[in-house]
Structure 1
Amino acid sequence: MQATYRNFLIRDWQPPDRQAVANHVQSILVEYGLANEPVGADQDVLTVEDSYWAKGGEFWVIETQGRLVGTAGYYPVARGENAVEIRKMYLRSDVRGQGLGRYLLQALEAAIATQGYTQIWIQTASILKEAVQLYERNGYQPSTGIETDRCDRIYVKSLSAQ
């Protein structure tokens, strides 16, 4: 992935991004009062090669003026049929409200569809109000089967229904 949206560069994660991405994810979680789980739910940002790439997924970083301001990724999951889960879609507070989240979600959906997947799952927390609104406005339906302790919402969307 390499794309631009306004003054943002969206590109594939690379190994030198590892610590900056881990710090970014932790800062977003702290902002919302959510627990960082570096040996649990958040280990994937430290092991992108195994957690995303080896499974056929992707992980992206978003930069502006050389500064990391966001992340987003997906990987296949056993839930549902021919499904992936969108993970770690986090934007710094100073870049929210510019349409970047919607752009990223649409770019993720396009990449996922290109890979032949037909179902997308997203786990999130109610306190992430911007994320909840984004998912609901873009056709994600509430479901059941939360697997991450800090999450209290799960959504699913079928790409074949678009």
Structure 2
Amino acid sequence: MEIHIQPLNNSYSDQLIDLILTIQQKEFNVPITIEDQPDLKKIESFYMEPGGNFWGAFINGELVGSIALVKFDERAGAIRKMFVKKEFRGKELNIAQKLLEVLISFCQENGIDSVYLGTVSILKAAMRFYERNHFSQVEKENLPARFPLMSADNIFYYLNVNQTV
């Protein structure tokens, strides 16, 4: 199976909403709706115009994974919307790893040194994934003032992208 990763624009909103809401609601029972995530309907203005981006992983034309970067400061960004369809997870395809590497390369090319993210403590596999990728846990009160908090998140991570190489 060949994995194709590309930036996404607003024309992919419906596919993204389908991918993300299915994982959030059906798989992890996170009480979140599309109304809670209006950014998914305005990818270009929310992610790209401020200097971030949104990528999708495709296999045979099907969107199977996503990752996004919100640039919230001159040299800092927040990882958002990191999802991979259940049947495409794991080391065989390594989709999450490939998506993260695309995002880190984008940061390095665009002068973004610091990357933060929030997740939910029930997502143990996600936490292990970030820790394997050299992210350090950071207390909520130590996050940058402009970090875009999501109400559901209760675990936070930080990465200096220049130390990952």
TM-score with structure 2 setting the length: 0.86
Structure 1: gaps (5+ residues): 1-5
Out of 145, 152, 157, the position equivalent to 2:154 is 152
AA aligned opposite 1:152 = N
Q: Does residue 65 in structure 1 map to residue 67 in structure 2? A: no
Kept in 1, the 8 Å contact 2:57–2:95? The answer is no
1:21 matched to which residue of 2? 16
**RMSD over equivalenced CA pairs, Å:** 1.6
Give the counterpart of 2:28 among 32, 42, 45. Answer: 32
Amino acid at match of 2:99: L
In the alignment of these two chains, the number of paired residues is 154
**1:102 equivalenced with 2:97 (yes/no):** yes
- 4+ residue runs over 4 A deviation: none
Q: Deviations over 1:21-57 (max 9, x none)?
A: 11111011011111224233x2211110111111111
Residue 123, structure 1, aligned to residue 118, structure 2: yes
CA contact (8 A) 1:144 1:154 kept: yes
In the alignment, which residue of structure 2 is the partner of 1:3? Answer: none
Q: Is the CA contact 1:37–1:43 (under 8 Å) kept in the aligned structure 2? A: no
Deviations 1:107-126 (A, max 9, x none): 21111111011100011112
1:112 match: 107
TM-score by length of 1: 0.88
The answer to whether the 8 Å contact 2:65/2:96 transfers is no
Q: Which amino acid aligns with 1:83?
A: A
Report the equivalent of 2:163: 161
Q: Which residue of 1 aligns with 2:79?
A: 86
The residue that corresponds to 2:69 in the other structure is: 74
Q: 1:77 to 1:14 in 2, by over 3 A?
A: closer
SS at match of 1:142: strand
1:140 aligns with 2:135: yes
* 2:41 paired with 1:46: yes
Q: How far apart, in 1, do the equivalents of 2:117 and 2:87 lie?
A: 23
**What is the rounded CA distance, in whole Å, between the counterparts of 1:153 and 1:113 in structure 2?**
25
In structure 1, C-alpha distance between the alignment counterparts of 2:136 and 2:115, rounded to whole Å: 10
The alpha-carbon deviation at position 150 of structure 1 amounts to: 1.3
**1:14: how far off?**
2.8
Structure 2 residues without counterparts, runs of 5 or longer: 144-148
